[in-house]
Amino acid sequence: MIKGADTVVVATKNAGKVKEFAHAFARMGWQVRSMFDYDGMPDIVEDGLTFADNARIKALEVAEALGLPALADDSGLEVEALGGAPGVYSARYAGEGADDGRNNAKLLAELGRLGPLPEADGPDGLPDGVRALSRARFVCALALYDPADRSFRETVGYADGWVLDRPLGQGGFGYDPLFWVPAYGLTMGQLSTDEKQSISHRGRALERLLAELSQTGLNARK
Q: Which residues are annotated as a binding site?
A: 12-17, 74-75, 173-176, 196, 201-202
The catalytic position among 39, 43, 73, 74 is 74
Cβ 76 vs Cβ 158: under 8 Å? no
Measuring CA to CA, which residue among 64, 5, 4, 7 is closest to residue 34? 7
Q: Which amino acid is at 47?
A: D
**Considering all CA atoms of the chain, what is the largest pairwise distance in Å, rounded to the nearest integer?**
55
Measuring CA to CA, which residue among 3, 42, 5, 36 is closest to residue 18? 36
Binding residue ranges for substrate: 12-17, 75, 173-176, 196, 201-202
Cα–Cα distance between 192 and 188 in angstroms, integer?
Answer: 8
**Residue 39 appears among annotated catalytic residues:** no
Measuring CA to CA, which residue among 196, 198, 173 is closest to residue 186? 196
Binding residue ranges for Mg(2+): 74
Residues annotated as catalytic (active site), given as ranges: 74
